Amino acid sequence: MKVYDTKDIINIAVIGEHKSGKTTFLDSVFFLTGKTKEKGSTDKGTSVMDFDPEEIKRKMTIRSSYSYVEYKNKKINFIDTPGFIDFIGEMEMALEVVENVILVVDGERGITIETDRIWHSIDELHVAKSVIINKSDTITSNFDEIVQKIKTKIGKTAVPLEFPYFENGKFVGTIDVIHKKLVIYEDEGKKYKELEIPSNYNDTVNKYREEIFEDISEINDEFMEKYLSGETISEDEIVEGLRNCITQGKIIPIFAVSSLTNVGILRMLDIIVEEFPSPDVHKEVTVIKNGKEEKEDISTENTTIITPFKVRIDPYIGRIVYFKVWTGNVKSGDEFYISETSSSVKILHPCVAFGKTLEEVQEVKAGDIFLVSKLEEVKIGYTLVSKKEDIRIKHLELPTPIFFIAVIGKNRGDEDKLAELLSRFSEEDPSFIVKFNDFSKELEVHCQGETQFNVYTEILKDRYKIDFTLDTPKIPYKETITKPTEAHYKHKKQTGGHGQYGEVFIKVEPLERGKGFEFVDQIRGGHIPKQFIPSVEKGVLSAMEEGVLGKYPVTDVRVILYEGSYHEVDSSDISFQIAGWHAMKIALENGNPSILEPIMDVKIIVEESYLGSITEDLSSRRGRINSIDRKEDGTVIINAYIPMAEMIKYSSSLSSITKGTGRFTMNLAYYDFAPEKLQKEITEIGRKIKEKANSK
């Protein structure tokens, strides 16, 4: 394969809900451009993108997949993404490395709940966005009605560049709005011919062209003057203006295609290479250099910056890492420094991919995507630099988990295997987080929803025959004190030979929420030698691992070591650790201890008709609503603080209330005192959990 310059590369992420036909659309693209001799099929298990055994079995995209085509002297990199919002981690990583996003909409169903959720997940992204109305051959209603619904849900700047043309009830071509041509497809969509537009379509074409001209006029004064004065505007001026509007997000193009019959796709590819931005449209990339945000010119050849955005574990090849080149170029044998670890790696045998097939390339330039196998040291989120400099790419932030569950192996062997396999899933899907709960001694999964969790656990059962049970995860409560107190402890132990001796006096004070822990050394006159001060602190911290109520970790305290004594012979590190531990336990008992619960910052997005039911439900969850914002599309955003204990199973409750239309995000906001009426119950729960954990 030839080496492509940055200006000749187009990176596109294809998004859309399950069954919208996005993977079939890509199989059509590969067939029409000659990459495949026969068109792939998800039903037959021959799709280029869905090649994972689980994807073939389920007939659905689980992981993002990358393939490329060469078309009209351009290299188009396509990334197919999962069709469930639960797999947003896979989607977000893909979105970080592209300049274009195509949303595939099922023409029969229109903008469904899931499509709306997927689209709004990219609201803040500064990428060129477009929409494909797939299955246009099945559209029985007026096409313009579908367009208006898309405008309502997606944005007023959405406008068709093509719309369907039917003959005898059959979808045989499209009307090209920009070039004012009727495009008729032949030979399974591999060829098309251009004809004059039938006169009865002129009004529709002119309406859409006026929308486009108005959008172009907003960013181009010269174009606006010509448009308003009625001067002739050349096709080249329209194409250039449209390209700038698409790049700046001022226009969201709509295309009409059928992935089943391939109608509409070839002309769409023509428009993609003509209008869609290449990586060089963004002349600079934002980096963090020595802790400060800077701009790096993507055309520079002095420094090459690459980032991994995907990891795939292949059963035969092993670990495969997918990279985006931000600046410079990459050749086999190039050495890179990992900013996050200060270690170095060599890039050997860079490849491009077509589905699961890898092809080695001699060079990869800025803006392009490549893969490397058997590279163990690199993780998603790292930045690799050709020079030994502290440079890091500013990454998208993945949404925090909203679904939590504990996974418990039936025996010790199963638990070890569970941890290994779940961690492997996590390595491939960064939004699937696996944690070991030190308090309960249980393995927990924190992820985006039940669909994501069920897919991975079914793999555990079906492929690896692992037996496990599920449980509600344990809330990470904490303990603190509510009043200042003092404590004293003398550790003195005499046996044969050297004994043990250490005496400490401490003051313990409550701190503001979120301050954590402070240790203050006020020893004067050498009453405790300096080498034993850290020993006292270590003992105090050890005592804080278990509070005196529910055995939860202790936080938000200041410990002041102000007096003590030692023995020339018997004092030691362990002696002062023990003294510090006992003194802290005494202080916690006397400090009027109380339990803290985690409070989440929750953003809930629902249709306004459900607002009353949602606020009533939040009240029952001890929620405190901070604001309610109304949007033009008829939805409302509710911002609230809600205890984490009330949010563990909120996904299913919200879905039930809103008939699946609601969505939410949440992040840890702060810790606050649990209500007095719940303190005893939480204490008993903690003690039982700790007792069970200690018995393992």
Q: For the ranges 26-40, 297-311, 589-603, which has the lowest average pLDDT?
A: 297-311
pLDDT tens sequence across 382-434: 999 998 888 999 888 888 899 999 999 887 778 889 999 999 999 999 899 99
Tens digits of residue pLDDT in 305-339 = 999 999 999 888 999 999 999 999 999 999 999 99
Statement: residue 617 has pLDDT above 90: yes
Summarised one tens digit per residue, pLDDT across range 80-90 is 999 988 898 88
CA dihedral over 385, 387, 388, 391, signed as positive or negative? negative
Question: How far apart are the C-alpha atoms of 684 and 443, rounded to whole Å?
Answer: 22
Name the CATH topology of 403-474: Alpha-Beta Plaits (3.30.70)
Over the stretch 234-293, which tens digit does the pLDDT of each residue have?
989 999 999 999 999 899 999 999 999 999 999 999 999 999 999 988 777 888 888 888
491 has pLDDT over 80:
yes
Query: Strand, helix or coil at 288?
Result: strand
How confident is residue 117, by pLDDT bands cut at 50, 70 and 90?
A: confident
Tens of pLDDT, residue by residue over 348-381, are 999 999 999 999 999 999 999 999 998 999 999 9
At 108 the pLDDT is 86
pLDDT band, very low/low/confident/very high, at 689 (cuts 50, 70, 90): very high
* Structure letter (DSSP) for residue 415: H
Q: What average pLDDT does the segment 82-111 reach? A: 90
Please tell me the CATH code under which domain 479-591 is placed: 3.30.230.10
Residue 125, pLDDT > 90, answer no
Given a cut of 80, whether residue 497 has pLDDT beyond it is no
User: 160-191: per-residue pLDDT in tens?
Assistant: 999 999 999 899 999 999 999 999 999 999 99
User: With 70 as the cut, is the pLDDT of residue 141 above it?
Assistant: no
For the chain, what are the domain ranges? 6-197+251-281, 284-393, 403-474, 479-591, 598-678
- Which residues have a Cβ under 8 Å from the Cβ of 471 and sit 6 or more positions away? 405, 406, 408, 442
Over residues 131-137, mean pLDDT: 94
What pLDDT score does 145 carry?
87
Query: Which pLDDT score, from 0 to 100, does residue 642 have?
Result: 98
* Sequence-distant contacts of 24-29: CB under 8 A, at least 24 apart: 24/134, 24/259, 24/260, 25/104, 25/132, 25/134, 25/257, 25/259, 25/265, 26/67, 26/78, 26/80, 27/259, 28/189, 28/257, 28/259, 28/262, 28/265, 29/69, 29/78, 29/265, 29/269
CATH class in words for 6-197+251-281 = alpha beta
d(CA 376, CA 176): 49
**CATH topology for 598-678?**
Alpha-Beta Plaits (3.30.70)
Cα dist. 165→132, 170, 175, 385 in Å? Answer: 15, 8, 6, 51
Q: Read off the pLDDT band of 126 (50, 70, 90).
A: confident
Section 570-579 average pLDDT: 96
Q: What percent of the chain has pLDDT over 90?
A: 74
Say if residues 68 and 352 touch (Cβ distance below 8 Å): yes
Tens of pLDDT, residues 498-539: 889 999 999 999 999 999 999 999 999 999 999 999 999 999
Mean pLDDT, range 215-243, rounded to an integer: 91
pLDDT, average across residues 125-143:
87
CB atoms within 10 A of CB 79: 28
CA dihedral sign, ordered 242, 246, 251, 253: positive
Which of 556, 552, 555, 542 is CA-nearest to residue 585?
542
Q: Which residue has the higher pLDDT, 112 or 571?
A: 571
Say which CATH superfamily domain 284-393 falls into. Answer: Translation factors (2.40.30.10)
Q: Do domains 403-474 and 598-678 have the same CATH topology?
A: yes
